[in-house]
A and B are shown apart, each in its own frame.
Chain A
């Protein structure tokens, strides 16, 4: 029962990532593309969890953690870049004044 279910879940998640890919290519604004990238990352995390269940190994959990952290940091950096045209403000300018 469980292997069939895992295959069905993988299919649904792959279709969801395809839909996000459509929005990533099509999206009218940059924010649409960022939202699509964020959703692709989150779905990838679910795919890795399902794969680890399917292969009955716990070695993939580090990958789950790293994908979660990288998705959050990437979305934050891209949103900051859109909002104020830089990712990090230059702190050295204050010292020069």
Chain B
């Protein structure tokens, strides 16, 4: 039982740290705001979730503490980190940061243009 718990904690914490490192690597290497935000948000969320779950199991197995604060932190990070990434990407697009030259699809552009023409029409009628 103790060995299984220790192995589980080791795997979770090491995997989480590796995911965090991978996200930072993507943040340095990728060419564009949107691709960088993708790498940073997803891998950092998963990595931190793994580390926090490992900490929760550690305190549960070794010190006999069921930490509600840590559970709350896990749920909070799981909800808010993708939201923050999405907000950052949207603000980057609306403030006119260009896409990478190798990007093949831009689904938001026709929608925004349609909204703009509709607003202009309603303004002049």
Interface residues in chain A, defined as those with a beta carbon under 8 Å from any beta carbon in chain B: 1-2, 5-6, 8-9, 12-13, 15-20, 22-23, 29-32, 34-36, 38-39, 42-43, 45-46, 49-50, 52-53, 56, 58, 61-62, 64-65, 68-69, 71-72, 75-76, 79-80, 82-83
Known contacts A16-B20, A29-B33; can you find 9 more A-B pairs with CB under 8 A?
A: A5-B14, A35-B37, A35-B41, A39-B40, A46-B47, A50-B55, A65-B76, A75-B84, A79-B88
30 A-B interface contacts by CB (under 8 A): A1-B10, A8-B17, A9-B16, A15-B24, A16-B25, A18-B24, A19-B21, A23-B28, A23-B36, A31-B95, A32-B36, A35-B33, A35-B37, A35-B40, A38-B41, A39-B24, A42-B77, A46-B17, A49-B52, A62-B69, A64-B52, A65-B72, A72-B84, A75-B87, A79-B84, A80-B91, A82-B91, A82-B95, A83-B90, A83-B94
How far, in whole Å, are A16 and B21 apart by their CA atoms in the complex? 5
> Is A39 in contact with B44, judged by CB distance below 8 angstroms?
yes
